[in-house]
Every structure is written in C-alpha cells, then in structure tokens.
C-alpha cells in the first residue's frame, strides 16, 4: 500500500499546515499592526523580529505576549508531532569509564516552521519539533555519534517542559540530571525562509537560589567523577544566577577537576562583557564565528574574511592575553581555523546545500569531542595530527547538520562521508 508523504510519521497533513499558516499569519500581522488576513511576507517576518528583540531590556528574551500567542498556535501541532516521532532505542550513558560532561542552562523546545512562497504570501510547508538549546544540541549530536556523556540541565514545569523531555526521550536520551524550574520552559521558534532564519525565544524557566545551588552541585559532582574530560558549556548561566556565574563555573571546574572547558560565545545570546569575563578564566576552547571574533577584537567581519593571517594573529593575541588554550574560528562556507599559541590549521568546508545552519556549530563541537574519545587522545595537549583531526571532525560534523532542515542533526555516517572532502593543513 502506498503511503502518501503528508501522512508519514512526524509530518503534518496538508489541512493542518493550512490551518497553521492561517493562524501564524494572523498572529504575526497583528503584532506589527497589519490586518490579520494580510498575506505573510518576508518583510513582515523582519518587522516581527526587529520589534521582538527591541521590546525588552533583557538580552536573551523579547516580548512574552507574542511568544504566548505563538505557542497557542503551535501547541496542538507540537504535541501531535512528538506523538508521531519515531522513538529511538534508549542510549545507555552509564559507563565505568570517564566521559564528557554537557552542561545546559538554555534548553527548550525547538519549533521550526519551514515556509514556501505561495502567490503573494508565505505558507507553512513543514514543521520540525526537536529538543533544543546549544548544549542540548551537543548532547543530541554525541548521542547520534554513539558517544557516552553526562547531561546536566534545567527543564520547565509545564507543557513546554513536558514537550522538551518527551522529545529528548524520543531521541533515546533518557539519562539526564535535570533541575525542574518553577515556571514552564522556553520555546525556540524559527521561521526559516531561503537562506535566512528568523529566531524568537521566550523566557527561561525561573529558578530560586536553592535551585541554582542544586544545579551547580550537580555539574560539579559530574566534573569530579569525570576529571580532565571535556565540559561543553552553555553560553550563559541559568535564570536566577548571578552575573559572573558562568566564569566561576569555568574557573572552578578547571582548577578543581582539570576539565577541558568548551565555550561558544553565540552572538545575541551573550554580551561582549560576559564573554570577556569567561575568557579571563582561560577556557580550553572558544568557538567564535567571524562576527563574534570581530566583536571581541574590534575588527570588521569583512576584513577578517579576506585575511586568514589576520584571524590567526588576533586569535593568538586573545590566547596570549587571556590564556585560552585554543580558538576555533568558524567561517561557514569558507571553512574554519583552529589556533593555539604556536599552531594554526585551516580546513575547507565540504560543499553542501545549506538547509539550516543553526545547529551546525553545536554538532561540530560534539564531533571533535567524539573524535578525541574514539581515538583516545586528550584535548588538553593534542599532537599535530590530533590537532588537525579536531578541526576535520568539526567541519564534517557541522556540514552534516547544516544540510538538514530545522534543528535536525547530521548522523555519524553523514559526518564521516563529508569529512572525506575536508583537507586540513597548517598555515
């Protein structure tokens, strides 16, 4: 019997996509003062994003009212898709050997509505629902690669938090040490169209001081049990934590437990001052893109893209100034550079059709951690060959995910296949 594509598990039927288009169009138009039935356009998406991110004094969340309306539109569809998702076999993350630690404080449920042009307006063509957040994506990718890890995090107390946990378990990730927030979780809402992605997020689950203390004790205990392993960090602390929380986590886990801390200073998620505070604790590896490196060094992105020698120089200046062990500079289609105090290696990006670049860097981080574990070497002091392997794994893993829509992640097999097209050499 033939199964029509629209009725496959994990997909919405056309009638549901039509209703989603109508409801989303009305919410977006009302938010920017247009008539509800005006066709949805790219201009409207841009206006919504601009208004949203300037409507709040905080840096990591915009207008709560808009996000409540969006969740009302998406809630039923999200539950339907999570019920339809194929459930992977549970992944056993308990091992007698030491394994990496993933510390997530910014997780939520990712809702990505793919849009197509239809006449004068945009319509919903797909809906992807996944557990999300930068370090949750690292954990998801490690699970895809078959690597052991310890996951510490927060999840909301409500329907969004429930959706997050159910979706995480659908991916076979049933081992995670979570603190439950006092309020519901957050939605990471994305409307990708063409090569552009429009992201909106709502508030983190609220934690009181005792919750933050409990969360901190969990991550410190995990690091104590897994000394000298990699520690993948969220870019900011949990709700309710003090301003220098994440720098203190970096310093404590390195000084007491010898962890190799990995920090991704994502643009718009964390301020330059916050990144500098982390750098002052000398993390093991930071992964800025060209825009983020430019902000840290007061240099235009265009100047950096045209001059790899300048990138290497500026990265090594950061290394000398702050004691960072390695700087991994991602340059999207132009590849990446891995730099330490004495070495710099360049690798090209495999040629792919980019579907969604949002989770590529997270997957790349997981891939380099996975490579170090599978080939049994330490990230603390890699040899020249291991140094190049770190970069090669990052590029293959990142490209595998960039070729996937929404917040879907590449597989180990896809990453390994793309690695065949990566050439890494010292510069």
Of 3-17, 60-74, 182-196, 310-324, the one with minimum mean pLDDT is 3-17
C-alpha–C-alpha distance, residues 142 and 230, integer Å: 12
Tokens 């390994």 found at: 416
Give yes or no for residue 60 having a pLDDT over 80: no
Q: What is the pLDDT of residue 6?
A: 30
The pLDDT, as a whole number, for residue 3 is 26
Tokens representing 375 are 């080939």
Q: What is the pLDDT of residue 58?
A: 45
Higher pLDDT, 97 or 240: 240
419: left (phi over 0), alpha (psi -120 to 50) or beta: alpha
Structural contact between residues 127 and 112, judged by C-beta atoms closer than 8 angstroms: yes
Q: How far apart are CA 192 and CA 180, in angstroms?
A: 30
| Amino acid 85: pLDDT | 83
**Alpha helices of 232-289 — where are they, by DSSP H?**
245-257, 272-279
Q: Is 296 a member of any domain?
A: no
Show Cβ contacts of residue 126 under 8 Å, excluding neighbours closer than 6 positions.
Answer: 11, 12, 17, 112, 113, 114, 405, 406
From the list 92, 103, 108, 210, the residue with the least C-alpha distance to 152 is: 103
3-class state of residue 232 by DSSP: strand
Quote the pLDDT of residue 269.
77
Question: What's the confidence (pLDDT) of residue 4?
Answer: 29
pLDDT at 300: 95
Instruction: Quote the CA–CA distance of 59 and 61 in Å, as a whole number.
Output: 6
Work out the average pLDDT over 190-212: 90
| 193 found inside a domain | yes
Asked whether 201 and 186 are in contact (CB, 8 A), the reply is yes
Mean pLDDT score of the chain, rounded to an integer?
91
Residue 174, in any domain of the structure: yes
> In the prediction, which pLDDT does 62 show?
52
- Structural domain of 102: 1-82+97-130+149-225
pLDDT in tens, 206-239: 999 999 999 999 999 999 999 999 999 999 999 9
Structure tokens at 219: 């991550």
The answer to whether residue 173 sits within a structural domain is yes
Q: How many CB atoms sit inside 10 A of residue 260's CB?
A: 23
Number of domains in the chain: 1
At 93, is the pLDDT very low, low, confident or very high (cuts 50, 70, 90)?
Answer: low
**385 phi and psi angles, rounded to 5 deg:** -65, -40
Give me the pLDDT at residue 5, please.
30
Percent of the chain with pLDDT over 70: 94
pLDDT confidence tier of residue 80, bands split at 50, 70 and 90 = very high
For the chain, state the CA radius of gyration: 21
Q: pLDDT per residue over 101-153, tens digit each?
A: 999 998 999 999 999 999 999 999 999 899 999 999 999 999 999 999 999 99
Calpha distance 410→346 (Å, rounded)? 22
Find the mean pLDDT for residues 21-25: 97
What does the block give as tokens for 424? 């890494």
Longest dimension (CA), the chain: 65
Residue 55 lies in a domain: yes
Q: What is the rounded (10 degree) CA torsion for 299, 303, 308, 311?
A: 0
Q: How far apart are CA 314 and CA 339, in angstroms?
A: 10
Say which range, 177-186, 265-274, 383-392, has the weakest mean pLDDT.
265-274
Whether 23 maps to a domain, the answer reads: yes
The first and second tokens of residue 382, run together, are 């890699």
Least confident of 89-93, 180-184, 203-207: 89-93
In a domain, 3, yes or no: yes
Answer yes or no: is 423 within a domain.
no
Ranges of beta strands (E only) in 354-413 are none
Do the bridges between strand 199-201 and strand 187-190 make them parallel or antiparallel, or are there none, so unpaired? Answer: antiparallel
| C-alpha–C-alpha distance, residues 21 and 18, integer Å | 5
Q: What values do phi and psi take at 14, rounded to 5?
A: -55, -40
């Amino acid at each position: 019997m033939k199964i029509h594509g629209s009725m496959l598990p994990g997909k919405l039927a056309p009638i549901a996509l039509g209703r989603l288009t109508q409801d989303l169009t009305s919410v977006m138009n009302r938010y920017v003062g247009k008539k509800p039935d005006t066709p949805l356009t790219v201009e409207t998406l841009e206006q919504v994003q601009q208004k949203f991110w300037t409507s709040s004094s905080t840096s990591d969340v915009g207008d709560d009212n808009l996000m409540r309306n969006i969740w009302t539109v998406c809630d039923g569809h999200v539950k339907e898709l999570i019920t339809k998702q194929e459930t992977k076999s549970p992944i056993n993350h308990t091992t007698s050997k030491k394994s990496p630690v993933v510390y997530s404080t910014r997780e939520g449920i990712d809702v990505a509505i793919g849009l197509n042009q239809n006449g004068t307006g945009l319509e919903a063509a797909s809906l992807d629902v996944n557990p999300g957040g930068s370090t949750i994506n690292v954990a998801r990718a490690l699970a895809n690669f078959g690597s052991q890890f310890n996951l510490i995090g927060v999840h909301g107390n409500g329907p969004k938090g429930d959706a997050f946990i159910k979706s995480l378990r659908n991916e076979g990730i049933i081992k995670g040490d979570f603190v439950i927030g006092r309020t519901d979780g957050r939605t990471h809402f994305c409307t990708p169209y063409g090569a552009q992605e429009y992201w909106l997020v709502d508030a983190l689950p609220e934690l009181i001081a005792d919750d933050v203390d409990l969360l901190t004790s969990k991550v410190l205990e995990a690091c104590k049990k897994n000394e000298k392993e990699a520690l993948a960090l969220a870019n900011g602390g949990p709700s309710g934590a003090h301003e220098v929380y994440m720098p203190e986590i970096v310093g404590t886990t390195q000084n007491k437990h010898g962890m190799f801390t990995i920090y991704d200073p994502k643009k718009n998620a964390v301020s330059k001052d916050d990144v500098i505070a982390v750098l002052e604790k000398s993390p093991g590896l930071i992964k800025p893109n060209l825009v983020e490196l430019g902000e840290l060094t007061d240099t235009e992105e265009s100047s950096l893209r045209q001059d790899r020698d300048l990138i290497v120089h500026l990265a090594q200046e950061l290394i000398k100034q702050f004691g960072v062990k390695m700087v991994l500079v991602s340059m999207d289609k132009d590849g990446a550079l891995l730099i330490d105090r004495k070495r710099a290696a360049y690798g090209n990006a495999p040629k792919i059709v980019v579907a969604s670049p949002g989770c590529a860097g997270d997957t790349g981080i997981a891939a380099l951690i996975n490579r170090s574990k599978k080939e049994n070497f330490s990230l603390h002091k890699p040899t020249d060959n291991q140094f190049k392997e770190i970069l090669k794994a990052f590029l293959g893993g990142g490209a595998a995910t960039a070729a996937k829509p929404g917040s879907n992640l590449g597989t180990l097999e896809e990453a390994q296949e793309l690695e065949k097209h990566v050439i890494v050499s010292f510069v």
